[in-house]
Amino acid sequence: MINPQEITRHVCWNIPLLFKILVYVGGLGTIALAVWSVYQRVQIWKKGREEDRKDNLKERLIFAAKNVFFHTRILKDQYPGIMHLAIFWGFLVLLIGTILVAIEADVPFVHFYYGAFYLLVSLALDIAGLVLIIGICMALYRRLKEKPDRLQPEKAEDNLILYLLLAVAVTGFLTEAVRIAAQGFPKFELYSIVGFILAIPLNIVGINGTLAHRFFWFIHMVCSFAFIAYIGYSKLLHIVVTPASIVFRDRRSYGVVDPIPDMEEAESFGLTKIEELSWKQLMDLDACMRCGRCQEACPAHSTDKPLSPKNLIQDLKEHMNDRLAKGKDPEECTPYQKISDDVLWACTTCAACMEECPAYIEHIDKIVEMRRYLSLMEGRIPEELNQTFRNMENNYNPWGVGFANRADWAEGLDIPLLSENGSAEYLLWVGCAGAYDDRYKKVLKALVEILKAANIDFAILGTEEKCCGDWARRLGNEYLFWMMAVENVEVLNGYNVRKVITACPHGYHTLKNEYPQFGGNYQVIHHTQLIAQLLEEGKISLKKSLEGTFTYHDSCYLGRHNGIYDEPRKILQRLGLSLKEMEKNREKGFCCGAGGGRMWLEEKTGTRINYVRCDHALALNPQGIATACPFCLTMFDDGLKAKDKIEEIQLKDIAELVAEAIK
Amino acid sequence: MKVVVFCKSVPDTETRVKLKDNRLDKSEIKYILNPYDEYAVEEAVRMKEAGKVDEVIAISMGPERAREALRSALAIGADRGILVKDDALDGSDTYVTAKVLVKALEKDGVDYGMLLFGQQAIDGDTWHVPGQVAEMLGLPQTGSIIKLEVDPDAGKAVANRLVEGGEEVHEMSLPCVVTCRKGLNEPRYPSLPNIMKAKRKPIQDYSIADLDLSPEEVGKAGSFTEVLYYSLPPKKEAGKKVEGEPEEVVQALVKFLKDEIKVI
Amino acid sequence: MSVWVIADQRNGALRKPAFEALSEGRRLAGELGTNMEAVIVGHNVEGLCNEIASYGAEKVYLIDHELLATYNPLAYARAIGDLVKEKQPQIVLMGGTMTGRDLMPRIAARVGAGLAPDCIKLEIVDGKLKATRPAIAGKVRVEIGYKSDIQMAILRPNVFEKLEPDSSKSAEVEKVPFEPTDLDTKQKLVEFISKETGRPELTEAEVIVSGGRGMKAPENFAIIEELADLLGAAVGASRAAVDAGWRPQSDQVGQTGKTVSPNLYIAVGISGAIQHLAGMSSSKFIVAVNKDPDAPIFNVADFGVVGDLFKVVPLLNEEVKKIKAQEG
Residue B104 to residue C8: CA distance in whole angstroms: 34
For B108-142, write each residue's pLDDT tens digit.
999 999 999 999 999 999 999 999 999 999 999 99
**Residue A13 maps to a domain:** no
Of B12, B30, B192, the CB nearest to A377: B192
* pLDDT at B211 (0 to 100): 96
Residue A483 to residue A468: CA distance in whole angstroms: 10
Cα A346 to chain centroid, rounded: 18
For A379-421, write each residue's pLDDT tens digit.
999 988 999 999 999 999 999 999 999 999 999 999 999 999 8
Is A411 in the B-facing interface, judged by CB distances under 8 Å?
no
Domain boundaries, chain C: 3-186, 207-327
Which of the residues A397, A602, A610 would you substitute to probe the C interface, choosing the one with the greatest number of C C-beta atoms within 10 Å?
A602
Q: Do B227 and C144 touch (CB under 8 A)?
A: yes
Mean pLDDT of B201-229: 95
Is B134 in the C-facing interface, judged by CB distances under 8 Å?
yes
More confident residue, A13 or C7: C7
Return the closest-CA partner of residue A553 out of A602, A526, A586, A599.
A586
Return the closest-CA partner of residue B76 out of B97, B101, B105, B47.
B47
Chains that touch B (3 or more CB pairs under 8 A): A, C
A171 and A91 in a common domain: yes
**Separation in Å, CA A126 to CA A97, A171, A409, A513:** 10, 13, 73, 50
**Residue A449 maps to a domain:** yes
Could you tell me the pLDDT band of residue B182, with boundaries at 50, 70 and 90? confident
Those residues with Cβ within 8 angstroms of residue A566's Cβ, 6 or more apart along the chain or in another chain: A532
Report whether C70 contacts C10 (CB < 8 A): no
The amino acid occupying position B264 is: I
Chain A interface with C: residues with Cβ < 8 Å? 384, 387-388, 391, 399-401, 436-439, 600-602, 634, 637-638, 641-642
CA atoms within 13 A on the CB side of B21: 2
pTM over 0.80: yes
A549 and A464 in a common domain: no
* pLDDT at A535 (0 to 100): 95
A552 and A528 in a common domain: no
A551 and A486 in a common domain: no
pLDDT tens string, chain C, 328 residues long: the values are: 899 999 999 888 998 899 999 999 999 999 999 999 999 999 999 999 999 999 999 999 999 999 999 999 999 999 999 999 999 999 999 999 999 999 999 999 999 999 999 999 999 999 999 999 988 877 889 999 999 999 999 999 878 888 999 989 999 999 999 999 988 899 999 999 987 667 888 877 889 999 999 999 999 999 999 999 999 999 999 998 998 889 998 899 988 788 888 889 999 999 998 889 888 888 889 999 999 998 999 988 999 999 999 999 999 999 999 988 887 5
Residue B186 to residue B163: CA distance in whole angstroms: 20
Give the architecture (CATH level 2) of C3-186: 3-Layer(aba) Sandwich (3.40)
A515 and A610 in a common domain: no
Residue A431 to residue B251: CA distance in whole angstroms: 42
Cα A477 to chain centroid, rounded: 24
* pLDDT at C197 (0 to 100): 64
* pLDDT at B183 (0 to 100): 86
Of C73, C138, C323, the CB nearest to B258: C323
A298 and A338 in a common domain: yes
Is B221 in the C-facing interface, judged by CB distances under 8 Å?
no
* pLDDT at B27 (0 to 100): 74
Q: What angle do CA C189, B182, B192 make, to 5 degrees?
A: 130
* pLDDT at B107 (0 to 100): 97
Residue B129 to residue B119: CA distance in whole angstroms: 9
Question: Distance, in angstroms, between A479 CA and closest chain B CA?
Answer: 8
Of A266, A375, A394, the CB nearest to B12: A394
Q: Do A267 and B195 touch (CB under 8 A)?
A: no
* pLDDT at B119 (0 to 100): 96
Q: Do C114 and B257 touch (CB under 8 A)?
A: no
Structural domain including A307 reads: 274-380
For B5-28, write each residue's pLDDT tens digit.
999 999 988 877 888 888 778 777
Boundary-marking domain end, from A380, A414, A447: A380
For A97-129, write each residue's pLDDT tens digit.
999 998 998 888 888 988 899 999 999 999 999
Mean pLDDT of A200-205: 93
Q: Is the pLDDT of residue A87 over 90?
A: yes
Burial of B155 (0-12, 13-18, 19+ CB in 10 A): middle
A283 and A366 in a common domain: yes
> What topology is assigned to C207-327 in CATH?
Rossmann fold (3.40.50)
Q: What angle do CA C272, C273, C274 make, to 5 degrees?
A: 115
* Chain A residue at shortest CA distance from C272: A438
A520 and A422 in a common domain: yes
Of B131, B227, B237, the CB nearest to C105: B131
A513 and A657 in a common domain: no
More confident residue, C15 or A94: A94
Question: Distance, in angstroms, between B238 CA and closest chain C CA?
Answer: 7
Which of the residues C106, C110, C183, C202 would you substitute to probe the B interface, choosing the one with the greatest number of B C-beta atoms within 10 Å?
C106
Question: Distance, in angstroms, between C320 CA and closest chain B CA?
Answer: 7
B 26-85: CB under 8 A from C:
none
Whether omega before A201 lies within 30 degrees of 0, making that bond cis, reads no
Is B166 in the A-facing interface, judged by CB distances under 8 Å?
no
Is B123 in the C-facing interface, judged by CB distances under 8 Å?
yes
Return the closest-CA partner of residue B14 out of A270, A261, A639, C282.
C282
**Residue A37 maps to a domain:** no
Return the closest-CA partner of residue C298 out of C262, C327, C273, C324.
C273
**Residue A107 maps to a domain:** yes
B 173-192: CB under 8 A from C:
173, 176, 182-183
Number of structural domains (chain A) is 4
For A632-643, write each residue's pLDDT tens digit.
999 999 999 989
More confident residue, B239 or B199: B199
Which of the residues C129, C142, C261, C298 would you substitute to probe the B interface, choosing the one with the greatest number of B C-beta atoms within 10 Å?
C142
* pLDDT at C318 (0 to 100): 93
C 215-254: CB under 8 A from A:
240, 243-244
A359 and A215 in a common domain: no
Of A266, A379, A400, the CB nearest to B189: A379
Which of the residues A267, A372, A403 would you substitute to probe the B interface, choosing the one with the greatest number of B C-beta atoms within 10 Å?
A403
Of A385, A403, A405, the CB nearest to B30: A403
